[in-house]
Chain A
Amino acid sequence: MLVKALMDRGMFALMGLPTCKQVEEFAYDFLEGALDAKTARRLERHLKACKNCQRFMVAYRKTRDLEASAPRPPLDPSFKEEIFKFLTKESI
């Protein structure tokens, strides 16, 4: 494992690319589109060369989207009217 880590690290360093750890640290800003163009390009090149980080990014993106896609139960239409009556009664 250590030998492989050293080889991978050496390869990315030679290519002038971020490490896997840096890919994880940049992941939030990468998905937000908040990285500067140069860093984003280097990160994309790392992703092309590293299956592990490709998989990480797929999972990370999916996790970001999980709660947004959760079903939203509709609000009972009578609820607004109930609150309106409550507010007018309580606050005046």
Chain B
Amino acid sequence: MTASNSTDKTLVQGLKEKKEEAFRELLERYSEKLFHLALRVLRREEEAREVVQEGFLKVVTKIGTFQEDSSLYTWIYRIVLNEALMRRRTRHPEREIPIEDYLPRYELGVATEPAPDWAKLPDRLFEEGEVRDFVRSCIEDLPEDLRTAYVLKDGEGLSEDEVCNILEISKFAMKNRVHRARLVIKKRIEEKYAR
């Protein structure tokens, strides 16, 4: 979706002219999505709301710098994501977990340890509060680059191109980050629940 899309063009023009209906349209389209994105990064509702508010103000004040041939949606997402990440960094020093310890090992191309059987883990297990909290902590403990890619791709369900555009990384880097994030989370869940 790019600003060449006529509704985007109209919205961008309206924001540049500071029209009230453009503000309302912007909020209608993106409030909910951006709130959930900020909430996934910050895990605190109050902070997520503050970040969304600051992000929207940035969008409105910087709309003159928006490149009309790019995607309005990913531009707005990037602004709010960066706001959320900056806020998180101030209160949350990164915990460096040794991700190499959680990646699969192979000998001559064959896995060196048997894979636990997740079929034995009932789906409802993952709906329980304690397990949800543990999964969340696994995501929280990931390095920022892996965590952000995983949250956008698997949490927000964005397309590969959208994730690449928001993070301004190549498709190869994006896939690699999401893949390693999944492997680390999977391994940590197995260590706790699937032994």
Query: How many chain-A residues does the 8 Å CB contact rule pick out?
Result: 47
- Using known A-B contacts A60-B182, A90-B57, determine if residue A83 contacts B110 with beta carbons closer than 8 Å: no
Q: Let me know if B167 is at the binding interface, CB within 8 A.
A: no
CB contacts (< 8 Å) of B32 on chain A: these are 75
Could you say which of B1-9, B84-92, B93-101, B184-192 contacts chain A?
B184-192
> Are A67 and B190 within 8 A (Cβ)?
no
A86 to B150, CA, bound (A): 32
> Are A27 and B179 within 8 A (Cβ)?
yes
Query: How many chain-B residues does the 8 Å CB contact rule pick out?
Result: 56
- Using known A-B contacts A58-B119, A83-B53, A87-B23, determine if residue A68 contacts B157 with beta carbons closer than 8 Å: yes
A75 to B28, CA, bound (A): 12
Q: Let me know if A48 is at the binding interface, CB within 8 A.
A: no
Binding site for A on B (CB under 8 A): 18, 20, 23-24, 27-28, 31-32, 35-36, 39-40, 45, 49, 52-53, 56-57, 60-61, 104, 106-112, 114-119, 121, 126, 132, 135-136, 139, 150-151, 154-155, 157, 160, 175, 178-179, 182-183, 185-186, 189-190, 194
Given A83-B27, A90-B60, list of 9 further CB < 8 A pairs?
A5-B112, A9-B110, A19-B109, A24-B106, A55-B118, A72-B36, A75-B35, A84-B23, A86-B53
